[in-house]
Amino acid sequence: DAGVIQSPRHEVTEMGQEVTLRCKPISGHNSLFWYRQTMMRGLELLIYFNNNVPIDDSGMPEDRFSAKMPNASFSTLKIQPSEPRDSAVYFCASSFAGTVNTEAFFGQGTRLTVV
């Protein structure tokens, strides 16, 4: 398996524009996570899905952020409108969640710069 695939790897956009980040989880995994990484706040959980259903979105900072998982092999994180403070590295991760925890595999991340 190619692992968790994120696109794009880098995104530079102007303030106010819509940004869509994409993620393809590892086949067979039933949990998907979106994290944001900054120097100040480290790795913050934004939202996670189990069996394509959002379970906890309490980490989504504002209504400008939304995430979807229309099927088991694809998820998007959208920011509309984007602001300079949204600049960060966004990671998608997936795992197989059962009665015990298993390893979460991370993608390479999308580095977002909002100017």
Binding site for another protein (CB under 8 A): 4, 31, 33, 35, 41-43, 45, 48, 50, 56, 91, 93, 97-101, 103-109
Nearer to another protein, 6 or 82 (CB): 6
Q: How far is the CB of 53 from another protein (least distance, A)?
A: 12
Give whichever of 15 and 43 is closer to another protein, judged by the CB atom. 43
Instruction: Evaluate whether 75 touches 90 at the Cβ level (below 8 Å).
Output: no
Distance between CA atoms of residues 21 and 11, nearest Å: 9
Beta-carbon count within 10 A of 85 CB: 10
User: Least separation, in Å, of the C-beta of 16 and another protein?
Assistant: 28
Q: Which residue, 28 or 98, has its beta carbon nearer to another protein? A: 98
Q: State the Cα–Cα distance between residues 77 and 19, nearest whole angstrom.
A: 8
Q: If DSSP codes are grouped into helix, strand and coil, which group holds residue 112?
A: strand
